[in-house]
């Protein structure tokens, strides 16, 4: 089975358990899209999964837990217990995550290296070295020195 098929099975199971038909779920997600999702012909976006979960009266995590359980042939409870364990191992289980990726205070490793190179270039420049000498001293291309020179 695939997660796409697991999602199809979960969607159909929860909908049937709640006594709903596909049209009951249509709103932001069209009835034809619900049909395609339940037949496993397409995968939902995160937004569509959240909208479907809301229409079903459950959380998106519950819907996805049932989907993963169907795919993995385990119970939804086992999926959630494993997820909690994984989050605890990451130190994230009891933390509220930032609202967006932009809100995270992380610097890309390339930016850190570039800042360090710029500082080295500027330091050697202040000592009176020429660009070609700085490139030789640091073992970097002259074009990199030029980029960090001004």
Which of 38, 115, 104 minimizes the C-alpha distance to 70?
Answer: 38
Which of 148, 99, 97 minimizes the C-alpha distance to 123?
Answer: 148
pLDDT, tens digit (0-9, with 9 covering 90-100), for 47-96: 999 999 999 999 999 999 999 999 999 999 999 999 999 999 999 999 99
Question: Which backbone phi and psi does 16 adopt, to 5 degrees?
Answer: -65, -40
The reported pTM is 0.68
Residue 108 has pLDDT above 80, yes or no: no
CATH number of 3-99: 1.10.260.40
Please report how many Cα atoms fall inside a 13 Å half-sphere around the Cα of residue 150, on the Cβ side.
3
Domain spans in the chain, listed from the N-terminal domain onward: 3-99, 109-149
Q: How many whole angstroms separate alpha carbon 75 and alpha carbon 5?
A: 16
């Amino acid at each position: 089975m695939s997660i796409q098929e697991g999602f199809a099975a979960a969607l159909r199971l929860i909908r049937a358990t709640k006594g709903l038909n596909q049209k009951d779920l249509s709103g932001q997600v069209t009835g034809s899209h619900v049909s395609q999702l339940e037949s496993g012909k397409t995968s939902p976006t995160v937004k569509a999964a959240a909208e479907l979960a809301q229409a079903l009266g459950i959380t998106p995590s519950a819907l996805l837990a049932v989907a993963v359980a169907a795919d993995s042939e385990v119970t939804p409870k086992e999926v959630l217990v494993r997820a909690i364990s994984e989050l605890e191992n990451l130190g994230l289980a009891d933390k509220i995550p930032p609202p967006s990726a932009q809100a995270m205070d992380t610097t890309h490793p390339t930016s850190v290296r570039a800042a360090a190179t710029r500082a080295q270039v500027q330091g050697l420049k202040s000592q009176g070295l020429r660009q070609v000498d700085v490139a030789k001293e640091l073992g970097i291309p002259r074009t990199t020195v030029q980029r960090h020179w001004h």
